[in-house]
Amino acid sequence: PEATAVYSVIGMTCSACAGSVEKAIKRLPGIREAVVDVLNNKALVNFYPSFVNEEAIRETIEDVGFEATLIK
């Protein structure tokens, strides 16, 4: 079964920022869906826990250059 994680993402200033975060998350294994909302500084990710976890996703967002905190 899949799980959902929501992150607060600090530092995204345009929709291209959100696009690059989404793309990076979707390159990870086990990602079912990723939606990044630049206006609300949030990322919602639906994933399969046998392949990836909350912390790996969080680190991927940080690797793109934004500060990410798991909020849900």
Question: What residues line the site for ligand 9UX (CB under 6 A)?
Answer: 13-14, 16-17
Q: Indicate the residue among 17 and 56 with the shorter CB distance to ligand 9UX.
A: 17
Minimum distance, C-beta of residue 17 to ligand 9UX, in the bound complex (Å): 3
Minimum distance, C-beta of residue 47 to ligand 9UX, in the bound complex (Å): 24
Minimum distance, C-beta of residue 67 to ligand 9UX, in the bound complex (Å): 13
Give the residue among 9, 3, 7 at the shortest CA–CA distance from 49.
Answer: 3
* Buried-exposed string 3-36: b where 16+ CB fall within 10 A, e elsewhere: eebebebeebeeeebbebbbebbeebeebeebeb
